[in-house]
Amino acid sequence: METALAKPRLGLIGFGAFGRLTARHLSPWFDIHAHDPAATDADGHATLTDLAVAAACPTVILAVPVEALAASLTEIHPHLRPDALVIDVGSVKVKPARLMEDLLPPGVRIVGTHPLFGPQSGKAGIAGLRIAVCEVRAKRDARRVAAFCRRALALKVFQVSPEDHDREAATVQGLTHLIARLLLAMEPLPTRMTTASFDRLMQAVDMVRHDSPAVFRAIERDNPFAAEVRNRFFALADAARGDLDGG
């Protein structure tokens, strides 16, 4: 009990699949107060609470869909401590960084993060997995968050600008989710006479199969570089179609 009382309080806004994963890995270090109107149980890693209580913690993590971020920021605004540290975990970084800077009070410190894993890929543990950390307001805080991720969570940390993140994620996530969406639409797919390369392809699909439509929308629509990447993919598909039909 003494250890628990000694832990700093952390507010978690959003307790969906990713919020729960966050609580599971941060609960050894923080006393987590989670708010989510849709949540009915706390998995033993957090205490479910009111928005006002969660938002008043010294550190507040926003684990909400990118498309719900602006509304969440407005909601937590009146409850935030003047020097709170606010962190988002969205799949894109340019848009959340801009929203947080625009909508949060001036004294509030802001760090953007993108854990490059999810409930599926992090199922067996997150040590060795990757996270992007973006400085938004105050360099020192981004460095502290990066150091925590590295030391406490054993993550591989990439400190990058929101722009550099989104440019790279447009390819990494944009292509993965687009290809997965096409393959999921073709199911049922063979499971019997498969090749090792097809098995890898389907493992990739399985890792994003249960991601919410909101994750797909964030990756494809809220990343300013996603359209360029997928248009290139579609153009190459058209060219391949022409080659194969014609030759």
Interface with its own copies (CB under 8 A): 116-117, 121, 129-130, 132, 158, 160, 165, 168-169, 171-173, 175-176, 178-183, 185-186, 189-190, 192-198, 200-201, 203-205, 207-208, 220-221, 227, 230, 232-234, 236-238, 240-241, 244-245, 247
CB of 134 to its own copies, least distance (A): 11
CB of 215 to its own copies, least distance (A): 12
CB of 14 or CB of 122, closer to its own copies: 122
CB of 3 or CB of 191, closer to its own copies: 191
Give the Cα separation of 55 and 62 in Å (integer): 10
CB of 242 to its own copies, least distance (A): 10
CB of 47 or CB of 171, closer to its own copies: 171
CB of 84 or CB of 178, closer to its own copies: 178
The residue with tokens 């729960």 is 20
